[in-house]
């Protein structure tokens, strides 16, 4: 589905998940359901709208190794790994996130070609897209490559993303209640 070369032998696939999530993402966003895609969900958003993925970002010339630290402790695996730079004029700027902030990084795949209708919200130092939004979405529709749920209460940018998502969910619930 990700419009790239065939997966390496032994790569795990989940066709049932793909058959569910890819059309569901498109339908939810079209229906005005708030969406926050995290890690694979971020990648699924790009694929659902026609974008492509790199299978192994760490093998590409000039790219960072975005995989988690090889360490048994979650605090080390999910520790801040690199900065992201917020792109002007988007959802993140409207949320007043800092122009640059640190994120964790525990992925090997990443966006190759951004899907039509998606907007880059933030990039890593190597230029890899780390956050996206859906242009012209009637509600909050954002994806992030990192895991903002990790220690969210002690990380203001992460918390702002979840608060915006929560606000959009409450607005959606209030609208449905009025019907």
Alpha helices in the chain (DSSP H): 15-30, 40-48, 74-77, 91-94, 156-178
Active site residue 68: no
* Active-site residue (options: 39, 66, 121, 130): 39
- The span from the CA of 24 to the CA of 6, in Å, is 24
DSSP percent split of the chain into helix, strand, coil, nearest 5: 35, 20, 45
CB count in 10 Å sphere of residue 16: 8
Instruction: Establish if 50 belongs to a structural domain.
Output: yes
Instruction: Establish if 12 belongs to a structural domain.
Output: no
User: Mean of the per-residue pLDDT values for the chain?
Assistant: 93
Q: State residue 15's pLDDT score.
A: 78
Instruction: Establish if 10 belongs to a structural domain.
Output: no
Instruction: Establish if 6 belongs to a structural domain.
Output: no
Instruction: Establish if 4 belongs to a structural domain.
Output: no
Instruction: Establish if 144 belongs to a structural domain.
Output: yes
Q: State residue 145's pLDDT score.
A: 98
* Active-site residue (options: 1, 120, 149, 169): 149
Active site residue 39: yes
Active site residue 147: yes
Residue 64 tokens, joined: 């960072």
Residue 138 tokens, joined: 């009637």
pLDDT (average), residues 172-176: 92
pLDDT (average), residues 100-110: 96
- The span from the CA of 117 to the CA of 48, in Å, is 11
Domain span at 126: 17-174
Instruction: Establish if 97 belongs to a structural domain.
Output: yes
Q: State residue 4's pLDDT score.
A: 61
Instruction: Establish if 27 belongs to a structural domain.
Output: yes
* Active-site residue (options: 54, 66, 107, 147): 147
pLDDT (average), residues 43-71: 94
Give the model confidence (pLDDT) of 110-157 as tens digits: 999 999 999 999 999 999 999 999 999 999 999 999 999 999 999 999
pLDDT band at 5 (very low <50, low <70, confident <90, very high): low
Q: How far does the chain reach from its first CA to its final CA, in angstroms?
A: 37
123: Cα separation from own chain's centroid: 11
The structural domain count of the chain equals: 1
pLDDT (average), residues 73-84: 95
pLDDT at 65 over 70: yes
Domain of residue 76, CATH code: 3.40.50.880
Angle at 56 between CA 52 and CA 112, to 5 degrees: 25
pLDDT (average), residues 69-80: 93
Question: Is beta strand 141-144 parallel, antiparallel or unpaired with respect to 35-38?
Answer: parallel
pLDDT higher for 28 or 5? 28
The least confident of 8-22, 54-68, 144-158 is 8-22
């Amino acid at each position: 589905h990700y419009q790239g070369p065939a997966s390496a032998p032994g790569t795990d696939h989940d066709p049932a998940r793909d058959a569910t999530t890819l059309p569901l993402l498109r339908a939810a966003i079209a229906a005005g359901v708030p969406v926050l895609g995290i890690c694979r969900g971020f990648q699924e958003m790009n694929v659902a709208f026609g974008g492509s993925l790199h299978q192994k970002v760490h093998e590409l010339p000039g790219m960072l190794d975005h995989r988690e630290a090889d360490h048994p402790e979650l605090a080390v695996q999910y520790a801040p790994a690199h900065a992201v730079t917020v792109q002007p004029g988007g959802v993140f700027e409207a949320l007043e996130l800092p122009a640059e902030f640190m994120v964790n990084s525990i992925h090997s795949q990443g966006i190759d070609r951004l899907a039509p209708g998606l907007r880059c919200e933030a990039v890593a130092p190597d230029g890899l897209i780390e956050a996206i939004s859906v242009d012209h979405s009637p509600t909050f529709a954002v994806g992030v490559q990192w895991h903002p749920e990790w220690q969210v209460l002690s990380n203001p940018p992460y918390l702002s993303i979840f608060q915006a998502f929560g606000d959009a969910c409450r607005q959606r619930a209030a609208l449905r209640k009025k019907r």
